[in-house]
Amino acid sequence: MSKILLFNPQSANGKYRIPNSILSIAASVEGKHEWVIVDGNRDANPLEVIASYLSTGDYKYLGFTVMPGPQLKQSIPFAKTIKERFPHTTMIWGGYFPSSHPKIILDSGYVDFIINGPGDHAFPSLIDALEDNKPYEFIRNLIYKAGNEIVKTQKEDLFDQDPLPPLPYDKLNKIYNIKKYLGKTFLGERTLAYHSSIGCPFTCSFCAVVPIFEARWKAKSAQTVYNDVKYIKDKWGADAIEFHDNNFFVSEKRTVEFAKLIKPEKMSWWGMARIDTMDKFSDASLALIREAGCKIIFFGAESGNNLILDQLDKGGTQTGNQIIRFAERLKKFDIIPEYSFVLGTPAPTAKQVEAQIDFEIDFIKKVKAVNPRTEIVLYTYSPVPTEGSALFKQVEAAGFKYPKVLEDWISPAWENFDLRKNPLTPWLTPEMIGKIQNFETVLNGVYPTVTDIRLSSIKRKAIQLVAGMRYKANVYNYPYEIKLLQKVWKYRQPEIQGF
């Protein structure tokens, strides 16, 4: 039986995590097929490592997990080289990037199959079909080319998460020491990345989660999450958890159950949530969550303007007033809200686009005034509609174009797009982008992020002093002196470097 090689392309400089995406795919074939993981974060020359495995002739199937942005830098050239050097291999890509951009990937000629969304069932079914020379046309969550045509099979319903096979941590540890995946962060000395639920019940129009999960959410039970975390804590000494779920806090009941279980373990934790959902949590639940170690929660605030929240299809009941009120409410519980905002959304005239940017800057200052510990993460609106969707057509009609050839995605301009910093959208002028970036520099100067654990209090005070006057006077142009200090002290930006 042919073996499987699973590749996690480099995603971070230094601060890498347990590669949950590729590990869950390994779990799906564990016990049925032999597999190995190559992690681009851990090997100095991963292409050579891959080539040495393939040269044995034992490996036929290659699975790449691909997020937009940094992971493309290895995925694209590696896939091309591998197909040239080992043409007998079958290349299968999964993850957010291939699910959103299947055509350009399959047209490249070096990827054979795409797993569209969850691969826990689709991947083993595909391998079985290919191994046994059986038809794969009826396997769900698959995209492939038949002649010149792109074929997308039916999407699978979201399945229960508890019955999924456990992640093969021990086997991963034989390839890469797990302890090195448990990095030092603001939360702790050895931080575990854990993914406890899939999807999200909402349909925000800017979010890549929506076309893949179609407003559905399924979670592991609090007990299963606790058991997994406890295993890693006891075996490898994890003392903190980053929950990588798109929306960890959907269910108050599950959150409270988990908080009760984890409280005695004295671990710190972090996760992503919605403001309107959590604002419905009782005071008792919020107090318990904090006592159980939850120090900071990431919220997509997006905008203080209710019309923009509608435009972004934020759904739920979130409003500008609520965003401010909730920041104040969390202060009482000593939970730091980490609010992300999306600036630079389209409007009919340039004047309106600019006025909206000014409004958000003013709004963010109001949030900071009620709760100065609120962490602000600024993104510039980068449309991520799925190829062929109605929104994709709208965005194209406005003059925005995605690359036409796969290799173009690794150009510096498109890397900036992926990092949501300079999105190449036609309605934003360089001056507007400059204004957003300069405000961000000054804001980060006055309020350096608590997640930058290397920035000493003396350095913080020095930057604050320089930036404070600008902030008070609303003067954001040319903040070179702050930029210089941030550069010299290697200030970290969660929006670019990942949380």
The stretch among 11-19, 203-211, 436-444, 469-477 that binds ligand SF4 (CB under 6 A) is 203-211
**Rule CB under 6 A: is residue 202 a binding residue for ligand SF4?**
yes
Dihedral sign, Cα of residue 101, residue 106, residue 112, residue 113:
positive
Q: Pick from ligand B12, ligand SF4, none: which does 371 bind, CB < 5 to 8 A by kind? A: none
Q: How far is the CB of 303 from ligand B12 (least distance, A)?
A: 16
Query: Which residues of the shown chain bind ligand B12 in the complex (CB under 6 A)?
Result: 8, 11-12, 16-17, 19-22, 24-25, 63-65, 67-70, 92, 94-97, 100, 115, 118-120, 123, 195, 207-209, 244-246, 384, 418-420, 495-498
Work out whether strand 268-273 and strand 142-146 pair parallel, antiparallel, or are unpaired. Answer: unpaired
Find the binder of ligand SF4 among 246, 305, 371, 486 (CB under 6 A). 246
Q: Pick from ligand SF4, ligand B12, none: which does 337 bind, CB < 5 to 8 A by kind? A: none
The stretch among 206-214, 320-328, 418-426, 485-493 that binds ligand SF4 (CB under 6 A) is 206-214
CA atoms within 13 A on the CB side of 145: 15
Binding flags for ligand SF4, 148-187, as an x/- string (CB under 6 A): ----------------------------------------
Residue 2 to residue 86: CA distance in whole angstroms: 14
Q: How far is the CB of 381 from ligand SF4 (least distance, A)?
A: 12
Judged by CB, which is closer to ligand B12: 116, or 268? 116
Q: Pick from ligand SF4, ligand B12, none: which does 95 bind, CB < 5 to 8 A by kind? A: ligand B12
**Rule CB under 6 A: is residue 345 a binding residue for ligand SF4?**
no
Structure token digits, residue 118: 């969850």
The stretch among 65-73, 77-85, 201-209, 478-486 that binds ligand SF4 (CB under 6 A) is 201-209
Residues 6+ apart with CB under 8 A from 200: 207, 209, 210, 213, 215, 217, 246, 247, 250
Structure token digits, residue 340: 């992300």
CA atoms within 13 A on the CB side of 402: 24
Task: Give the Cβ contact number of residue 107 at 10 Å.
Answer: 14
CA angle 152, 28, 64 (to 5 degrees): 60
Task: Map the footprint of ligand SF4 across residues 411-450, applying CB under 6 A.
Answer: none
Inter-residue contact 251 to 222 (CB < 8 Å): no
Task: Map the footprint of ligand SF4 across residues 346-385, applying CB under 6 A.
Answer: none
Inter-residue contact 121 to 159 (CB < 8 Å): yes
Inter-residue contact 299 to 246 (CB < 8 Å): no
The stretch among 182-190, 200-208, 452-460, 464-472 that binds ligand SF4 (CB under 6 A) is 200-208
Structure token digits, residue 130: 């290919």
**Rule CB under 6 A: is residue 207 a binding residue for ligand SF4?**
yes
Inter-residue contact 215 to 207 (CB < 8 Å): no
Q: How far is the CB of 104 from ligand SF4 (least distance, A)?
A: 23
Judged by CB, which is closer to ligand B12: 191, or 371? 191
CA atoms within 13 A on the CB side of 347: 16
Judged by CB, which is closer to ligand SF4: 120, or 276? 276
Q: How many residues bind ligand SF4 (CB under 6 A)?
A: 11
Judged by CB, which is closer to ligand B12: 272, or 288? 272
Find the binder of ligand SF4 among 247, 255, 356, 422 (CB under 6 A). 247
Task: Give the Cβ contact number of residue 200 at 10 Å.
Answer: 21
Work out whether strand 217-219 and strand 197-199 pair parallel, antiparallel, or are unpaired. Answer: antiparallel
Residue 443 to residue 440: CA distance in whole angstroms: 5
**Rule CB under 6 A: is residue 243 a binding residue for ligand SF4?**
no
Can you name the residues that pair with 297 across neighbouring β-strands? 271, 337
Q: Pick from ligand SF4, ligand B12, none: which does 210 bind, CB < 5 to 8 A by kind? A: ligand SF4
Q: Give the footprint of ligand SF4 on this chain (CB under 6 A).
A: 200, 202-204, 207, 209-210, 246-247, 274, 300
